Amino acid sequence: MKVLKKGYKDTEVGVIPTDWQIRNIANSCSIKARIGWQGLTKSEYQKFGEFILITGTDFKNGTICWETCSFVSKYRYEQDRYIQVQIGDVLITKDGTIGKVAFVNELPYPSTLNSGVFVVRPLDKDIDKTFLSLIFKSKYFDDFLDKLIAGSTINHLYQKDFVSFNFPIPSKQEQQAIAETLSDIDALIDVLNKQVEKKKNIKQGAMQELLTPKANWEIKKLGDVSYIVGGGTPSTFNSDFWDGEINWFTPTEVGSHKYLFSSLRKITEMGLRSSSALILPINTILLTSRAGIGDMGIIKTPAATNQGFQSIICKDMVSSEFIYYLMLTKKEELLKNASGSTFLEVSSKKVRNIEISIPKSKQEQTAIAQILTDMDNEIEQLEKKRDKYLNIKSGMMQQLLTGQVRLINTTSCSEAEEAEIKNYSTDNKKKHSKQFEEAVIIGFLVDKFGSAAEPLSRFMYTKLSYLIHRKYDCTVVDYKKFAAGPYNPKSRYGGPEKIGKKNEYFDLVKDTKGYDAFIPQKKIQEAVDYFIQWYGADIQKWIEEFRKCKPWDLETLATVDMAINDLEEKGVKVTVSTVKTYLSSIPKWKAKLDKPHFSDVHIQRAINESIRLFKI
């Protein structure tokens, strides 16, 4: 007989507090999906439009990645009002990879669902929507799905099965406390994810700049500066060949990390001699030549590989670290050189004949590689920190959603970790939503660029905020192509301006030309403090360089930068001509080409500025 701690009971979903209830999903929530005959064809997926179609492939980190979503017609959006997405909806995939979850915490466009996604909404007022989303990310739902698909190849979550899901639930007050506690750590994880993506984008720009051939560089074939070595596999039928002490890598182990220290499987000396595998020296670059062609890693211990590699042993004249980074830019060329009827493979001859441009001086090669290595180390540290808090969150969820921790003078992480989580969260219980964040940005910009005597115009604020999001977030999905340039209509109509006024960060007035403008209010320093806390002091200094910019210069820069992003996404080379062609294709932007500040000279200047500000 199971001995239970006082105040707990044993239920069908496990041990939970005695004051918690067991709920059934069908009795507590509505479950809707697109009806089969309303299914969309691929031809109906549009790149542009006013109505979003959400699919399971658009789920990322528990929310919707709006950048990957397609658009659909108004008819398709209005076809079924029950699957028109709302803030607070819980979305769950029912086809393919079943059970993926996304919580809708923002809604930039009117949106609907494809036929592979359920939308779940609480029917009872005593169920918190955010808490419900956590239930579907918990072990309760994982265990339910595991039992459902046990011993089968099921790749559908049918509603007739879904309705049997049961889950525990505390009082609404405790639900909200759990949701708030976990949202604190989510805020920190989100910040760290953005920092990782930002650093990766910076590194990508640095690689493009540093590895572009210079006048004093020389062109060589890879085979001139290195030895290309294949691998081999001992017979798997002979146990004497395996479980030895020699590292033996396969392609699936390469590509995630720059340095490789230990392989999953190891071979013996006898196994090595029985195959075509060779011991490769430290700092050899393992280059996959099959299935995932072009993935790489540098071994930091002597090792062998199977035959899925054309490994690069650099000669003394070159830096292996430099060649590693240079070959990262050659993946497309490697794929073009691959051939084979059963599976694609790139031969050692093709690898040897790849042309590379390198500095004559090994010292210069090493210096370039060191800059990129430092960037990789910084990214790795951020990823480790993020992963630590993901693990903390996982442990917290387990404790909070089973009632092991009741949020009464308890914590599941150290005081230092808890303090850091809170620093990225919501001081004084303010909800750190996108709307509140944008209100803070307005307040910060009003403090830096406006005053009671000279209000900051909405025109100037919009362009400056665009630049901040480009610098920090790297993406600007909320900005639309308005006549005055990139503009985020949700700032005005979606809440940020109202939030900022209510919190006394700023007020709205009319400037001398009769346009809306912002002036500081008595609590504006609070917005500045939040901004520095969330975005850091560096970006505060960075934005100062635009202080002397004229409004029309900012309009040109922001507009051209947005055009550059779209052109690069389509694989179009960025020139003055392609930018002008793009601007003329946007109805609201076509007239810009008649303005003096959109002359060829100004567009080229804006292209150069965009590269300087965001690509390097």
User: Above 50 in pLDDT, residue 407?
Assistant: yes
CB atoms within 10 A of CB 43: 6
Cα gap 442→342, rounded to integer Å: 58
pTM of the complete model beyond 0.75:
no
User: Above 90 in pLDDT, residue 426?
Assistant: no
Ramachandran class of 608: left when φ > 0, alpha when ψ lies in -120 to 50, beta otherwise: alpha
Encoded amino acid at 232, one letter:
G
pLDDT of residue 614: 79
pLDDT, one tens digit per residue, over 266-313 is 999 999 999 999 999 999 999 999 878 999 999 999 999 999 999 999
pLDDT of residue 258: 94
475, with CB counted inside 10 A (0-12, 13-18, 19+), is: middle
Residue predicted with more confidence, 30 or 486:
30
Cα gap 141→10, rounded to integer Å: 18
**Percent of all residues in the chain with a pLDDT value above 90, rounded to a whole number:** 56
Encoded amino acid at 401, one letter:
L
Q: How confident is the model at residue 369 (pLDDT cuts 50, 70, 90)?
A: very high
pLDDT of residue 616: 47
Cα gap 362→407, rounded to integer Å: 59
User: Above 50 in pLDDT, residue 411?
Assistant: no
Contact 92, 117 (CB under 8 A): yes
Provide mean pLDDT across the span 212-236.
95
Indicate the SS3 state at residue 137: coil
Which tokens in the block code for residue 177? Answer: 């406390």
Which tokens in the block code for residue 384? Answer: 């480790």
User: Above 80 in pLDDT, residue 22?
Assistant: yes
Q: How confident is the model at residue 517 (pLDDT cuts 50, 70, 90)?
A: very high
User: Above 80 in pLDDT, residue 98?
Assistant: yes
Phi and psi angles of residue 68, each rounded to the nearest 5 degrees, phi first: -90, -10
- Angle, vertex CA 358, rays to CA 355 and CA 364, nearest 5: 165
Residue predicted with more confidence, 154 or 443:
443
Q: Residue 475 half-sphere exposure, CB side, CA atoms within 13 Å? A: 10
Provide mean pLDDT across the span 26-40.
89
Lowest mean pLDDT among 111-125, 428-442, 455-469: 428-442
Residue predicted with more confidence, 386 or 429:
386
Q: Residue 320 half-sphere exposure, CB side, CA atoms within 13 Å? A: 23
Nearest to 520 by CA among 463, 459, 450: 450
Cα gap 66→12, rounded to integer Å: 38
pLDDT of residue 315: 96
502, with CB counted inside 10 A (0-12, 13-18, 19+), is: exposed
Name 119's bridge partners.
32, 91
Which residue is it, tokens 């042993």? 313
Range list of H helices, 427-523:
434-449, 458-472, 489-493, 496-502
Cα gap 198→208, rounded to integer Å: 16
pLDDT, one tens digit per residue, over 253-269 is 999 999 999 999 999 99
Residue predicted with more confidence, 341 or 29:
29
pLDDT of residue 230: 95
Taking the C-alpha atoms of 410, 413, 416 and 419 in order, what is their torsion angle to the nearest 10 degrees?
-70
- Angle, vertex CA 108, rays to CA 106 and CA 111, nearest 5: 95
Provide mean pLDDT across the span 104-114.
91
- Rg (C-alpha) for the chain, rounded Å, is 28
pLDDT of residue 485: 76
CB atoms within 10 A of CB 428: 5
Cα gap 282→284, rounded to integer Å: 6
E strands present in 250-348: 259-260, 265-267, 285-287, 296-299, 303-305, 311-314
Q: How confident is the model at residue 529 (pLDDT cuts 50, 70, 90)?
A: confident
Element (H, E) at 284: none
Cα gap 290→213, rounded to integer Å: 28
User: Above 70 in pLDDT, residue 476?
Assistant: no
Provide mean pLDDT across the span 199-221.
89
Encoded amino acid at 23, one letter:
R
Distance in angstroms between the alpha carbons of the first and the last residue of the chain = 65
- Angle, vertex CA 525, rays to CA 519 and CA 528, nearest 5: 95
Longest distance between any two alpha carbons in the chain, whole Å: 87
Which tokens in the block code for residue 84? Answer: 């028109």
The mean pLDDT value of the chain amounts to 88
Contact 173, 115 (CB under 8 A): no
pLDDT of residue 187: 80
Nearest to 487 by CA among 475, 478, 496, 495: 478
Provide mean pLDDT across the span 221-239.
96
pLDDT of residue 490: 67
pLDDT, one tens digit per residue, over 316-342 is 999 999 999 999 999 999 999 998 877
- Residue 568: CB partners within 8 Å, gap ≥ 6? 574
- Residue 267: CB partners within 8 Å, gap ≥ 6? 234, 241, 242, 244, 246, 248, 275, 277, 304
pLDDT, one tens digit per residue, over 41-77 is 888 998 888 899 999 999 988 899 888 899 999 999 9
Provide mean pLDDT across the span 347-363.
95
Cα gap 60→475, rounded to integer Å: 15
| CB crowding 170-187: b at 16 or more within 10 Å, else e | beeebbebbbbbbbbbbb
Contact 194, 472 (CB under 8 A): yes
Provide mean pLDDT across the span 399-409.
79
